[in-house]
Amino acid sequence: MASAPSPNAISPDGAPEPPETMVITLDPSYVLDGKIMVFSIVGIFALAMIYLLVSYICRKARRR
């Protein structure tokens, strides 16, 4: 793995690219994946809260 040079190890102007971690954090697709993950987690929590709220209201309405 180390013997094969990676195609994006050297940028076109000849300057070495920053470390792999910097490339990953600055990659737009990685940032987008992170945002999608956060939004999905927040969405799941929101759906759970809405479900609990609706079930609570339904229980209250049934008791009357």
CA–CA gap between residue 29 and residue 33 (Å, rounded)? 6
CA angle 46, 50, 36 (to 5 degrees): 20
35 Cα distance to chain centroid:
4
Q: Which pLDDT does position 37 carry in this prediction?
A: 81
- Domain ranges for the chain, please list them: 20-63
The pLDDT of residue 30 is 63
* CA Rg value for the chain: 24
Is the Cβ–Cβ distance between 45 and 53 less than 8 Å? no
**The pair of three-digit structure tokens given for residue 25, joined into one six-digit string:** 């954090």
pLDDT digits (tens, 9 = 90+) for 6-60: 555 554 555 555 555 555 555 666 666 777 788 889 999 999 999 999 999 999 8
State the pLDDT at residue 17.
56
